[in-house]
Chains A and B, each alone.
Chain A
Amino acid sequence: MSDVFKVGTYEFNSRLIVGSGKYKDFQTTKDATEASEAEMITVAVRRVNITDPGKENLLDYIDPKKYTILPNTAGCFNAEDAIRTLRLAREAGGWDLVKLEVLGDTETLYPNVVETIKAAEVLVEEGFQVMVYTNDDPIVARRLEEIGCVAVMPLGNPIGSGRGLANPFNIRVIKQRANVPIVVDAGIGTASDAAKALELGADAALINTAISEAKDECLMARAMRDAVRAGRAAFLAGRMPKRAFASASSPTEGYIWD
């Protein structure tokens, strides 16, 4: 069955988006990314260390011809820095599909929604296809869609916390009212969290730390691959209703004592 994940003008077979941060080395990044079977991978934009320009780079291991590179604005705390960062990313690799995140403070890493909206307006106007990280707020999600973002990415829980989905109800409400893909970004800690996100109807999950901080990164990458597939299949299949009382699985007639 064909179940393509469409984001803007892009199409993917995988509904797992992976990050490339916090790995112990580039080889592990590459191995775990391959194991995940993800087709899209986030990267950060940073100053080149000009004292050591020959040093290996992430893109020596993650081939931009093989993966859709999703540059992010991690570490940006205002719209201006986020816009500058993504303009540079587009020039570096020609990438127009981007992950916008504007953060509020370093302790919570919660999105600064006001600055996020400002940045999104400018970036959409400049022709970027913006996948936007935001709070699990249905009103803000709708506003970001109206601006023209190609995907809205509510958090499950704070970045790197691994605490799963704080508010599954909001994820469902956001999805039910959206006309663009909804990606659960941040908070997923283990496979069941990813499956749950997709079961709720999220179109995809974006996962970094849960894989890169696992004891066996490649095994967890495969677990996430399978969880996203299972969650998606369960969503499409349509789950049974929840009932207050039991409902017998075997027929209630033809007993031998009748």
Chain B
Amino acid sequence: MSGEITIHLNGEVQTVRAGTLSELVEELGLSKRMIAIERNLEVVPKSEYAMTQLAADDRIELVHMIGGG
């Protein structure tokens, strides 16, 4: 892990230590959850989390399923 960077995570400005998406998922404690991630409007497949580097000002959407009709 490198230093800290600031990203937009689910609409909030957040400072994170993670360098990659895998590290971000780990840092947030979501590794066992059924989630999906969009980075700068592109969905990132789970198989690419480890190789996807976070950059400053990235817009990350991290979603899961909730109750709905």
| Interfacial residues, chain A to chain B (CB-CB below 8 A) | 19-23, 26, 29, 42-48, 50, 53-54, 57-59, 64, 69, 71-72, 74, 84, 87-93, 159-160, 186, 206, 208-209
Contacts and interface: CB of A to CB of B under 8 A. Distances in A.
Interface string B36-69: 1110010111100000000000000111111111
A163 to B, nearest CB: 15
B68 A89 contact: no
A72 B66 CA distance: 10
Contact of B29 (A46, A54, A59): A54
19 contacts: A45-B66, A47-B10, A48-B62, A48-B64, A50-B62, A53-B29, A53-B30, A57-B65, A57-B66, A64-B34, A88-B38, A89-B65, A91-B46, A92-B34, A92-B65, A93-B34, A159-B69, A160-B69, A208-B69
Contact of A46 (B14, B28, B45, B66): B66
Interface residues of B, number: 28
Contacts of A43: 65-68
Contacts of A57: 33-34, 64-66
A19 B69 contact: yes
A21 B61 contact: no
B11 interface: yes
A166 to B, nearest CB: 18
Given A88-B38, A91-B45, A48 B30 contact: yes
Given A50-B62, A87-B43, A44 B68 contact: yes
B35 interface: yes
B5 interface: no
B27 to A, nearest CB: 10
Contacts of B36: 45, 88-92
Contact of A93 (B29, B30, B44, B65): B65
Contact of B64 (A19, A64, A92): A92
Contacts of B12: 50
Nearest to A159: B69
A47 to B, nearest CB: 4
Contacts of B65: 43-46, 57-59, 69, 71, 89, 92-93
Contacts of B45: 91
Contacts of A53: 28-30, 33
B48 to A, nearest CB: 10
Given A59-B34, A88-B36, A23 B29 contact: no
Given A72-B69, A88-B38, A89-B36, A47 B61 contact: yes
- Name, among A47, A58, A206, the residue most crowded by chain B CB atoms within 10 Å (CB to CB): A47
A56 to B, nearest CB: 11
Interface string B1-44: 00000000111101000000000000011100111111001011
